[in-house]
Chains A and B, each alone.
Chain A
Amino acid sequence: MTALTLKNVNKSFGKVQVLHDINLEVEDGEFVVFIGPSGCGKSTLLRVISGLEDATSGEITIGGDVVNMVPPAKRGIAMVFQSYALYPHLSVKANMALGLKQEKQPKDEIEARVAEAARMLSLGDYLDRRPSELSGGQRQRVAIGRAVVRKPKLFLFDEPLSNLDAALRMNTRIEIARLHRTLDASMVYVTHDQTEAMTLADKIVVLRDGRVEQVGSPMELYNNPANQFVAGFLGAPSMNFLPAGLVGGASDTTIGIRPEHIRLSDTGRLKAAVSHVENLGGDTNVLVELADGTQMTVRLFGQHNVAPDEAVSVDFDDADTFHFGASGERLRDATVLATDALQS
């Protein structure tokens, strides 16, 4: 069964349309990540799914039921908010139990579920504390616990890690992944951080300006981006784009090449000057500037002795390149070859 189906979902605030014809399926047990730059509508989409916002048109189906007219609490969802949104006046235990009490669940059932969630998230020692007495990471776990106890058909996460520091973010990320495996639950997760998207998702949905740009597994999107936007959005450092004319391609097309696929070589096709070097120890990122002013990032494995202002030549295998048309659309190899042939 599908956990969530969106059919032609549109959302407008007044005259501004923020979501355009969103179609999507989330399978049972799947971990789906919405990613996109800020303002792309990913959080709005999550709020439409949760019922905190109404869709202007379209159909939302959760666990087989159309829920457009169903209030959030009855949709079978649970949401984890960016700011945790814990009830400040209630203890950790009461925070987790409040939703169940509202559903009029029997007392021992509530106790059992809270205890189970507390065990799973190692919150046992903090059950009687209030949110203000917890650290950021603990608060985040309480927020997740509050979602877990409700046994929802669908978990919704709204940028849950963005208020944590880097180290804690990694731990919590691993914890969420573990939770997903243990509960085998369907989850929708919104983030702008591609590391989170790549590491957590079964399926990534890339959004831009309220439209779905591409849907697919992390490696699919990385290896086979549908367009220049997706290609540039995923991967760090991000993909280099150069006018195809520089290497003999059609003048109005663009070539994309990932930094790790470029090498410095004495016989390289492109002459460049090193403008900056970032030594990361394990990797070295070399920023170079081509004669026409195009900037490129070259990611080299290991440590390299390169100095700014040094003249270098760079090169890459054509097999590693992506070709994009003038409006950013991906040109599949066949078409590229055809244009190449015409040129020569």
Chain B
Amino acid sequence: MRTSRIKWHIIVFLAPAVLVYTAIMIVPLFNTLRLSLFTEVDQERVFVGLENFRTLFGDPRWSESFWNALGNNFWFFFIHMLVQNPIGILLAALLSNPRLRFSALYRTAIFVPTILSFVIVGFAWKLILSPIWGIAPEMLDAVGLGFLYQPWLGLEETSLTTLALISVWQFVGIPMMLIYAALLSIPDEILEAGECDGITGMSAFWKIKLPLILPSIGIISILTFVGNFNAFDLIYAAQGALAGPNYATDILGTFMYRTFFGFQLQLGDPHMGSAIASAMFVIILIGVCLYLFGIQTRMRRYQF
């Protein structure tokens, strides 16, 4: 046996990926965590331990912004779970009917918003909802609901929910496709066995299909969670770095961006930025761990 011989080809195959991944992703990740323990005094980097976090959670000027952004972020996520996934499941369930014609056409069209950039999506909806252009009020007028119109993106109470719904509009294609795939993978014979047992229509959905697509719903939920907690682009494109009106749409991504780069009169602070990034890291890590150990292990993947 020559097991002790170094297998160079394995190293050659692994090296590029591991090097790039480590250098650009892992090292900066930990470096960011490390930077959050420093601050800058007279252009010198000095170690301050958890001082930045004490500021972030303790100093009312910071903590207010942080809790506001975190709360907004949870609301943003909540709207996604509440609206995006049910719509995605509904569309997928409709599309998976083998007798439905034009299914590929619907699928392709409904996926279009997902491929557009946040800049396009943000501005397009901003224009459509804008009171200046008047498409939204006019359309509501046409169905006699004109009195409902408000400049939703401009009001503190409604702007965050409106942006969340725009984001749902953009991304509903992803849960739709994943659930659609999961539904297609259920063998016909199981549904036919259900039919012989009298389980058809809605009860076939609730009693057979839904339990079988639960693992996919779990994956979609964690993908949504991670995506929402590092979201930035849509808010930035539609409302700018200030996440107006009056920070009503500020989420962790925009908060970190402002802190890191500075805005208006405040100077950028990479160390506080790192502290916020670390907080985001911990939140995402908790979410992923909850999913991996709490949800995924309990959900069975079914072998058909």
Contacts and interface: CB of A to CB of B under 8 A. Distances in A.
B194 A88 contact: no
Contacts of A50: 196
Contacts of A73: 195-200
B54 interface: no
Nearest to B302: A88
A52 interface: yes
Interface residues of B, number: 21
A89 B190 contact: no
Given A83-B187, A88-B212, A88-B303, A99 B192 contact: no
A102 B196 contact: no
Interface string A50-76: 111000000000000000000111100
B135 to A, nearest CB: 46
Interface string A145-178: 0100010000000000000000000000000000
Interface string B191-224: 0111111111001000110011000000000000
A81 B189 contact: yes
Nearest to A98: B197
Interface string A254-283: 000000000000000000000000000000
A71 B189 CA distance: 16
B196 A89 contact: no
A52 B203 contact: no
B13 interface: no
A79 interface: yes
20 contacts: A50-B196, A51-B195, A52-B192, A52-B195, A71-B200, A72-B196, A72-B198, A73-B198, A73-B200, A74-B198, A79-B196, A81-B193, A85-B192, A86-B190, A86-B193, A87-B193, A98-B207, A102-B203, A130-B300, A132-B300
B197 A85 contact: no
A89 B302 contact: yes
Contacts of B200: 71, 73
B147 interface: no
A102 B197 contact: yes
Contacts of B190: 85-88
Given A88-B300, A89-B212, 5 more contacts: A52-B192, A72-B198, A88-B212, A88-B303, A102-B203
B211 A98 contact: no
A135 to B, nearest CB: 13
B139 to A, nearest CB: 43
Contacts of A81: 189, 192-193
Interface of A: 50-52, 71-74, 77-79, 81-83, 85-89, 98-99, 102-103, 130, 132, 146, 150
Contacts of B302: 88-89, 132
Q: Which of A50, A77, A79, A89 has the most CB of B within 10 A?
A: A89
A11 B173 CA distance: 39
A143 B300 CA distance: 21
Contacts of B203: 102
B304 interface: yes
Contacts of A88: 190, 212, 300, 302-304
A79 B192 CA distance: 9
B193 A79 contact: yes
A102 B300 contact: no
- Considering the complex of A and B, which 6 residue pairs feature the smallest CB-CB distances, nearest first? A73-B198, A99-B197, A85-B189, A88-B302, A85-B193, A89-B211
Contact of B199 (A78, A98, A130): A98
Nearest to A82: B189
A73 B191 CA distance: 12
Contacts of B198: 71-74, 99, 102-103
Contacts of B195: 51-52, 71-73
Contacts of A52: 192, 195-196
Contacts of A72: 192, 195-196, 198
A315 to B, nearest CB: 51
Contact of B196 (A77, A87, A132): A77
Nearest to B189: A85
B262 to A, nearest CB: 53
Q: Which of B194, B196, B203, B300 has the most CB of A within 10 A?
A: B196
A298 B240 CA distance: 90
Interface in B287-303: 300, 302-303
Contacts of A71: 195, 198, 200
A52 B192 CA distance: 7
B187 A85 contact: yes
Q: Which of A82, A83, A85 has the most CB of B within 10 A?
A: A85
Contacts of B189: 81-83, 85
B196 A78 contact: yes
A274 B197 CA distance: 56
Contacts of B197: 73, 98-99, 102, 146, 150
Contacts of A99: 196-199
A71 B207 CA distance: 19
Nearest to A103: B198
A85 B300 CA distance: 17
A87 B304 contact: no
B222 to A, nearest CB: 21
B201 to A, nearest CB: 10
B192 A89 contact: no
B182 to A, nearest CB: 13
A87 B192 contact: no
Interface in B164-203: 187, 189-190, 192-200, 203
Contacts of B199: 73, 98-99, 102
